[in-house]
Chains A and B, each alone.
Chain A
Amino acid sequence: MNERTKKIISVLLIVVVCTLVGNLIVTQPILNRGIVIGMGVDKTEDGQTEVTVQIAVAGESSAPGAPNRYALVSGKGDTLLSAMDAIARITAYRPAYFHCHMLLFGERLVETGVLETAKQLFIEDSLMDDVAVMAVKGTAKETLERSVSMQGASSVYLQQLNKINSTAGGHPAATLKNLVSHFETKGYTPYLPWVEAVPVPKAVGGADTGGDEQNYVFDCSKTVLFRENGTGIVESEDVTEALSLTAAKGGMLLSVQTENGSMDVNVKRILRYWHIEESGEVTYHAVHFVSVIAENVTKDMTEISDDYVTEHVTEYIREKIETSYALTAAEQTDALSLMGKYHKKFGSKKEPKALSLRLDISVKRSDA
C-alpha cells in the first residue's frame, strides 16, 4: 500500500468516525426536553391506557403568581408505551422522565389490575426505580390537574407529602421497585398508599397555580392492597397504621384512647425481629421506644406512670396489628406478607401447615 492510498484511507476513516461520533453527541437543548415531574396512568372506559404527564415548562417565570409553569399533557393508546409515545407526538417535546418522582395509578386501573403497567414501567426503564407510587381515588389525570395552594404543582405536593408521611410513619412508602418486587415474590402482598383529594378554601395570598378554582389537599391515610392478579382493594386507616408499625423505623404519632382520656404518643424508634418456624408459626417481636407528647389523662390522675403508658400503648399496637391482619386475611389478602416472608426463609417449594401470627410487643417509655 503506497503513501497516497494510506492517506486516503486515513482521511476516510476519520470522516466515518467523526460522522458516527457526531450522530451520537447531538446537543439536546433543555428547551426541547419536557422535564416530567409527575406521571399518572389511567384505564379509560373503553379499556385504553391514558398516560398523563405534568411537565415543567422551561423558560417560563418561576416567580410567585406566574401562571402556567406546569403543563399537563395526556396521551391515549392501546398499550402503555403507545400512550407514552402519543405524548411525545402531541407536545413536540421529548419527555424526560428522570426527574419524575411521583407516579399515580388511577382508580379504574387499580380495580382492573396494575401488574402489567407496573412491570412495563419497570422494564422499560424510563422512570427511576425509586419513583414513589401512589394510587388515587378517581383518575390520576384529575389528581394531577388539581389546584393546590401549598406547592406549585400537585405532583410536587404529593411528592413532599409522601416523603413526610413515609418517614414519619404516616403511611408505608412504596416505590416502583418495591411494587414490582412484591408482585414477583411468591406470597407477598404489594401495597400502595391511597390518595383522596379533599377540597379546601383557596389560600388568601397563595400562589395562583391555574387550573380550576377549587383548591385541594390530599389525604393519604388509606392503603390499597393488591391480590396476585394485580387488582387492588382499598383498606382502612387501621391497615395503614398496622403496615407502618410493622415496617417503619419509627417517627410515627399514635393517638391512644384510654379509659381516662387520650394521649398522643410519639414512637421514636422500633426494633423488630420476625421469627418464623417451619410449621408456619410466625412471631413478631418488636420493641417500641415512645414518649408522650400530649395527653388529657392527668386531669383525672395525679401523674401518668410509665406502666400506664406501656400497658395502653402495647395494647393499642397489638390491637391494630391483630385486627388488620384478621381483616385482610378474611379478604384473601395478607397485609403483613407472612407467606412471602415464610418462602423467603424456607424456599418457595416449602409450604407451612398453617400460618399463624403471634405478637411479642414491648413498649419502653423514653423521654430522652
Chain B
Amino acid sequence: MTDVQGIQLKRDRKVSFSQYALIAVALFLATKACTLPSVLADAAGAKAVWVVLILFAAECVLLYFCTKTARAGGLFALDLPRGARIAAGSILLLFFALKLAAFTREISTYFALSLFENVPVLPVSVILLVFTCLFAYGGYASLGRVLEIFVWLFIFVFLFVIIFTRTEGDLFNAIAIVNADTEGMGRGIFRALGWFGDSAVVALLDLSGTRQTKEKGKSGSERLGNSKILAAALGVSCLLLVVFYAVFTSVYGEAARMTDYAFIKLSAFRANTDELGSADWPMITLWSVLSFVYLGLILLAGKECALGIFGKSGRKAEKTAFALLSLFALVLSVLVSDEAAAHETFMTGVMSIATIIAGAVSALAGGAALYKSKVKYE
C-alpha cells in the first residue's frame, strides 16, 4: 500500500471518541430486537434474557480487542505480515458480506410487512441498499454524526415508552427467567451468534488520533473520562437490551417463540395499524435511522476490507466496492431467504459459524495490536 493510499484510507476511517462510542452502541443494539427474541425464545425459552447477557459480555470482549486494533490505526495499518492481513481481511470481508445479506433481508421484511403493509420484499431491499450506499458514502464520520444527532431520540423514546406504554406482563413469566431450568441455553447461544459479532466493524476504524493525544501528554483523567463515557454507553445499552428481553418474556411467555418480529408484537412498529397516542412514530424514526446506520457501517467495513485486500483506494474503487457488496447481498438474500427453512439455517447456522470465525480473527488481530503496542512502549 502506498503512503497516499494509506492516508486516503485513514482519513475516511477517522472518527471522534464520542462517535466511536455511539457506533459501538449502535452495533450492539441495532439488530437485537427484531427476529432474535423469537429465535431465542424458541431455543432457550425464558432464559433468552441470560443468553443475551452472556453474548453481550462476549461482544464487549470482542469490542475491546477490536478497539485495540482501531487504536493501532485499523486492521490494514497493523504491522503484520501481508499474507496474514489479507487472510484476516478476506475472512472479515466474507463475514460483512454475509451480514449485509442477512440483515438487509431482515430489515426489508420488517419494513415491507409493517410499514408498507405486506408489499413485496425485493423492491424494499433494492431501495434499502441504494439508500444505504448513499448513506455510507460519507464515511464513518458521517454515520457517527448521524448517531450524534439522533442520540437524543434514544433518550426521548426510552422515556416516552416508560411513561406511555401499557405493558401487562405476567409475574410467573418473569419468575421463569430466574428458575433453575437452564435447558436450551447452550443451543440458544449458538443460534443467536449470527446476531452478534458486529463489533468487528470497529477493527476497521482508525482511532489512532486518541493514542496520539495520549502520547502528547493529555491528562489521565481525560482519558479516564472517555472510557467512562464508553462504559456508561455500553452499560445503558446492556440494561436496555436486558430489560427489553425481560419485558418481552414477561408479556409473551411461551408464545414468544411464535412472534416473528418482537417490535411489532410489542406494538412499537405499527404506525398504520395502531391507535394514536402510542410511541410508534418516534420508534419508527429511531429504528429506521438505526437500521440505516447499521447497514451503512457493515457496508463501509466490507468496503474497507475489499479495498485493503486489493490495495485500492479512491472514490471509483469505493463505488465499485459498494455496488459489488450490495449486489452480492441482494442476490444472496433472494437465494437464501425465499424459503423459510433455508433462511433459518442461514441465520442460525451459517451466520453463527461465520461469527465465530470472524470473532476469532478480530480478537487475534486485536491481540496482535495489543502485543505490538506493548513491545513499542517497552
Contact = CB atoms under 8 A, between A and B. Distances in A.
Given A20-B127, A181-B253, A340 B172 contact: yes
A347 B264 CA distance: 28
Interface in A309-368: 340-341, 344-350
A98 B181 contact: no
A123 interface: yes
- The residue in A119, A125, A129, A346 that gathers the most chain B C-beta atoms within 10 A of its C-beta is A125
- The residue in B170, B173, B264 that gathers the most chain A C-beta atoms within 10 A of its C-beta is B170
Contacts of A128: 267, 273-274
Nearest to A272: B171
Contacts of A21: 127
Contacts of B274: 98, 128
Contacts of B173: 181, 344
A75 B362 CA distance: 57
A278 to B, nearest CB: 10
Contacts of B342: none
Interface string A1-32: 00000000000000001001101110000000
A184 B254 CA distance: 6
Given A180-B255, A184-B255, A24 B119 contact: yes
Contact of A347 (B119, B130, B181, B255): B181
A122 interface: yes
A20 B113 CA distance: 16
B175 interface: yes
Interface string A176-188: 0100110111100
B46 to A, nearest CB: 8
Interface in B293-316: none
A347 B180 contact: yes
Contact of A346 (B116, B181, B252, B270): B181
Task: Give the interface residue-count category, chain A.
Answer: 20 to 34
Interface string A111-132: 0000000010011010011100
Given A24-B123, A345-B175, A98 B255 contact: no
A23 B127 CA distance: 12
Main secondary structure of the interface of B (DSSP, over half): helix
Contact of A98 (B126, B265, B273): B273
B258 to A, nearest CB: 5
Contact of A181 (B183, B252, B270, B272): B252
Given A341-B172, A346-B180, A20 B252 contact: no
Contacts of A129: 265, 267
A174 B23 CA distance: 42
B170 to A, nearest CB: 7
Interface residues of B, number: 32
A122 B123 CA distance: 27
B179 A346 contact: yes
Interface string A123-152: 101001110000000000000000000000
Contacts, number: 77
A125 B273 CA distance: 11
A20 B123 contact: yes
A341 B258 CA distance: 21
B148 interface: no
Contacts of B170: 181
B254 A185 contact: yes
B332 to A, nearest CB: 20
B183 A24 contact: no
B172 A347 contact: no
Contacts of B257: 184
Nearest to B273: A98
A124 to B, nearest CB: 10
B176 A344 contact: yes
A177 B250 CA distance: 12
B101 interface: no
A125 B265 CA distance: 9
Contacts of A340: 172
Nearest to B123: A20
Interface in B242-278: 251-255, 257-258, 260, 264-265, 267, 270, 272-274
A21 B175 CA distance: 46
B172 A122 contact: no
Interface string B209-230: 0000000000000000000000
Given A20-B126, A98-B272, A128-B273, 16 more contacts: A24-B123, A24-B124, A24-B127, A98-B274, A119-B258, A123-B258, A125-B113, A129-B265, A129-B267, A177-B251, A184-B253, A340-B172, A344-B175, A344-B176, A345-B176, A348-B183
Q: Which 9 A-B pairs have the closest CB atoms?
A: A347-B181, A184-B254, A98-B273, A181-B255, A20-B123, A344-B172, A181-B253, A185-B254, A344-B176
